[in-house]
Amino acid sequence: MNTRRIILEQLSVQASIGILDHELAARQPLILNATFDTVISQTASDMDIDTVLDYRALRAALVEECTQRHINLLETLVDNILTRILQDFPSVQHVKIRVSKPLAFEDCAAVSIEQTRSR
């Protein structure tokens, strides 16, 4: 199987996430890193975006999953993202998502949850 990897690095979104009182009251930044292994079903034509998986659609799905509603746990958000990607993008065979909360602690850069899923 011939595959292509699409990588989105350090996508920043403002999300309503967290179970603590202060997290319920305000949005906070999340940083996403995502890797998508896609099946190459045809040769990429430089004049036709429909010959490849448009990474704008992948980005839009990530942003929507992070911003459409409040979620208490990072683990739930990551699971929701993985489900959405494999449901909406049939050419994606393997996906790895890392979601980081940079404001979780003052003494570290971020806390992150990373998970992978394959068809």
* Domain CATH number, residue 92: 3.30.1130.10
Domain that holds residue 62: 3-118
Q: How confident is the model at residue 46 (pLDDT cuts 50, 70, 90)?
A: confident
Q: Is the pLDDT of residue 51 over 80?
A: no
Task: Specify whether the CB–CB gap between 104 and 110 falls below 8 A.
Answer: yes
* Separation of alpha carbons 87 and 49, rounded Å: 21
What is the predicted pLDDT for the residue at 47? Answer: 79
Total of domains in the chain: 1
Indicate the pTM of the whole model: 0.93
